[in-house]
Structure 1
């Protein structure tokens, strides 16, 4: 009987593979990893799909569509991918509705994006209309106005060196890239520029005091 601790008939546990060594004797490189994944996908596609999805979900949530696309790139058969993704959905590892809520909360707070821009991003990530609309309902009209005003307030002081028309155009462009419509953007920009330019203009009292120096 072979030596259980040595080189007898006991290899690695079935379904798992030893790390492949590079020709130089070091750790496996990207090409070796890709080859191992391809081999695993042929031997046990569902196990390979589970491993790929678990790695992808480490540290960050993903939508079902994102994981579908990842598995397709890894050449996992469609039926194996669907089985694993269905199971992940059942146990809560994939939750597009929760993903959409977290995405909207984070992007609206950190980037000041409008609901229109947020909906476009969710659509690109494969979130369906119902889940997207429920998440976007968390952003009210006042939230959009406040976010737009914060965005403009951060930029307007840096435009003091240009004329008002140029500042107006640049601020409108910035809000448009964030998904804001022209109506809301025009009002917010006009408010900010009025306040900024008025702050630079001398008041009537200041003007009178300046004239007093030339009067007898």
Structure 2
């Protein structure tokens, strides 16, 4: 009866499958830190793009020796599986377009993901001042439209808070909000942060 429960590949029974014998000279994947590191990286990269620093942290957390991590990550980089420049460019494009994040917030997110400062600057510089202003203006219009009927002071506070959280500079935020309020005929007096009035 035990023959019916035998695995053809290993010869182990159901009850002892986790204790299957390994042929002489072969290593189990768990015993080979390089194979384990490759597996970890591939699983992580399959679910979402990652930076080199994120993969490094995951390998360190799982106890992979540093020299093995460097070797595996180097090969993945050479093969084009890890590309922080491409990651940063795609991240900036996606988050600016989809979530309306400003350059400051995008740079902070990339730094948290371990992207090198020069790469962060290059990626964020791909967003022109005009693009950033157009995105801020679109966000402000949407928020102002959604809050019609509320007191202007409340609307301004909400819009300014939203722009600050999304990483827009105060000067740009004040200017865009003031212009959009004027365009809808509001007489709310929004002070100019540059003039102190």
**What range describes the TM-score normalised by the shorter chain of this pair?**
0.7 to 0.9
- Specify the alignment match of 2:174 in structure 1: 186
Question: How many residues get paired?
Answer: 171
- Specify the alignment match of 2:91 in structure 1: 103
What is the distance in 1 between the residues matched to 2:18 and 2:181? Answer: 63
- Specify the alignment match of 2:192 in structure 1: none
Q: Per the alignment, in what secondary structure is the counterpart of residue 180 of structure 1? A: coil
- Residues 157 and 196, structure 1, Cα contact 8 Å, conserved in 2: no
Question: Which whole-Å deviations, capped at 9, do the CAs of 1:57-114 have from their partners, x for residues lacking one?
Answer: 1142110000011111211111111110011011111000110000011011011111
Q: Per the alignment, in what secondary structure is the counterpart of residue 185 of structure 1? A: helix
What is the distance in 1 between the residues matched to 2:53 and 2:38? Answer: 15
1:70 aligns with 2:58: yes
Question: Which whole-Å deviations, capped at 9, do the CAs of 1:172-209 have from their partners, x for residues lacking one?
Answer: 111000111111101111122222345xxxxxxxxxxx
- Specify the alignment match of 2:124 in structure 1: 136
TM normalised by structure 1 equals: 0.72
Q: Which runs of 5+ in 2 are unaligned?
A: 1-5, 20-27, 187-197
Counterparts of 1:1-216 in structure 2 under 5 Å? 11=10, 20=18, 40-41=29-30, 43-197=31-185
Question: Which whole-Å deviations, capped at 9, do the CAs of 1:157-181 have from their partners, x for residues lacking one?
Answer: 1211211111111111110001111
Task: Give the superposed CA RMSD.
Answer: 2.5
TM normalised by structure 2 equals: 0.79
What is the distance in 1 between the residues matched to 2:68 and 2:138? Answer: 47
